[in-house]
Structure 1
Amino acid sequence: MTTYAIANLRVAGYHPDIAEYIERIQGTLDPFNGRFLVHATQHEVIEGSWTGGVVMIEFPSLADAHGWYDSPAYREILHLRTDHIPGDVIFVEGVPEGYEPARTAAAMRAANEGATGQE
């Protein structure tokens, strides 16, 4: 299942370590078939709040995402970002081909009816 690494990185000033991190990151992604979908682009907040920037990287699978994040090559450069830019990072699997949200709603209703004994 396609997996996405999504980061909400707080705005930070320039530091040479950040430039080095950006220069080196693609080499850490390549062995795991990771590719940037969103990086250093503008975004518009339409609900809630979102402080900072958005980064989204696609991987073929959750195993590939973990393989990349835990790899010695990425671990070697990770501090170049985390020392200067605080943020939150998650891995999330995509939905399968043909996903139908109405089926999810039906399953939610059925689970709720079973839990409350109501129909």
Structure 2
Amino acid sequence: MSQAAYFVFTVDVHDPDGMQPYQAQVAQTFPPYGGKLIVAGGALQAIEGQAPRGKIIILQFPTVEQARAWYDSPQYQAILGHRLASAAGDGLLIEGCAVAV
């Protein structure tokens, strides 16, 4: 059994036009690394503390190693600059529970 891994991003877009190249290409970058999108925005309720600004994006990968390989991949790095220039936010890599692969 290996540990699943999750990338959790908070994204507050300040330049929607600048985000378009990123948004048009990002979904095709994570499947080769076993990644899948499990949360993309949606209604958010702060139960404790304050809700982050913008949207929450959560990606699931089979392992931390595959998650890092996706993030560091030439395909993702080629478009990452569009997001960084067009939005503020945070990115967290979290090791999850054991899953069968």
TM-score class normalised by the smaller sequence: 0.7 to 0.9
Displacement after TM superposition at 1:42 (Å): 1.5
Q: Who is 1:94 aligned against?
A: 96
Q: Who is 1:79 aligned against?
A: 81
* CA distance in structure 1 between the partners assigned to 2:16 and 2:98 by the alignment: 40
* CA distance in structure 2 between the partners assigned to 1:73 and 1:43 by the alignment: 30
Number of aligned residue pairs: 96
Unaligned 5+ residue runs, structure 1?
98-119
Q: Who is 1:17 aligned against?
A: 18
Greater strand share, structure number: 2
Aligned CA RMSD, in angstroms, stands at: 1.4
Encode CA deviations 1:43-98: one digit per residue, 9 max, x unaligned: 1111101222111000010001000000010000001111011111011111236x
Which one has the largest radius of gyration?
1
**SS of 1:54 mapped into structure 2:** strand
Q: Do residues 40 (structure 1) and 41 (structure 2) align?
A: yes
* CA distance in structure 1 between the partners assigned to 2:47 and 2:31 by the alignment: 33
Unaligned 5+ residue runs, structure 2?
none
TM-score normalised per structure 1: 0.74
**SS of 2:30 mapped into structure 1:** helix
Q: Which amino acid in the other structure matches residue 16 of structure 2?
A: H
Q: Who is 1:58 aligned against?
A: 60
* CA distance in structure 2 between the partners assigned to 1:96 and 1:51 by the alignment: 28
Q: Who is 1:26 aligned against?
A: 27
Matched residues, percent identical? 26
TM-score normalised per structure 2: 0.86
* CA distance in structure 2 between the partners assigned to 1:14 and 1:78 by the alignment: 14
Greater helix share, structure number: 1
